[in-house]
Amino acid sequence: MRFPWAAIMAMGLGRLGLSPRDFWAATPREIAAALPRPPQGTLPRGVLDRLMQQFPDET
């Protein structure tokens, strides 16, 4: 398996907006920590209900 240089460079230089100097100075761990993470799991219904009561939509 080859290292996905194109994808990592696109993410670091493009989406994260790192300068080339900062991108190449960063460790793989630093780049990974800066990448956006997908949401983990779902919000339990009880928590959602409490939040909806606490912060109702204003109409």
Phi-psi region of 43 (alpha: psi -120 to 50; beta: other; left: phi over 0): beta
AA identity, residue 58: E
Judged against a pLDDT cut of 80, whether residue 52 lies above it is answered with yes
Q: Residue 43 corresponds to which amino acid?
A: L
pLDDT band at 42 (very low <50, low <70, confident <90, very high): confident
pLDDT of residue 26: 95
- HSE-CB for 3 with a 13 A CA cutoff: 4
Q: DSSP letters along the chain, please?
A: ----HHHHHIIIIIIS---HHHHHHS-HHHHHHHS-----S---HHHHHHHHHHSPPP-
Higher pLDDT among residues 36 and 20, named by residue? 20
pLDDT band at 59 (very low <50, low <70, confident <90, very high): low
